[in-house]
Structure 1
């Protein structure tokens, strides 16, 4: 089975596809929480936009809630060549504005910490 290059990843928060709002994404292991679990972090660079279905409206509405996050190489069906990483994370407060300049896009980094180890699904 062929794998996928990461060109159009699946980035979903609480069932909402946010890849069109995003610029970069990473999921990395961090410090040991205890003898069996690691703390994992997910960082997503998000373009700030306001209105129905746009980043500030969607993400700010989830503040202080624990939601499911799904990250995968593509939106395609899960498989050995397209593993899905699923975890729960509490959504932090996000900025209202970040370095606004005339004619420039505003972005911020949404840093999420997993609530327990992520689940990596390949089938």
Structure 2
């Protein structure tokens, strides 16, 4: 199900991108009254989500490193250092863009309202 949700975010017709949130959205997930059980359940869910995101084939993440290792295993040659450096920069820009988009959505919702 998580893969389908991730796919829906990149499809503008679904409008799922409006639900992407940053730090405030994560804060809002937690209830206003304290409960250890709820806290650890949400923390576990966020940890799993972070682990799945880390496996995406974005060069700056572990999934990107796995992708390059698979390429090296199949082709028998390592990508050039310059290519790897540029790929890391592209991956970093993608991650920063995602971070800015998610937190920008939070700011937009705070100013405009839900």
TM-score with structure 2 length normalisation? Answer: 0.26
Q: Which of the pair is proportionally richer in helix?
A: 2
Q: Which has the larger radius of gyration?
A: 2
TM-score (norm 1): 0.24
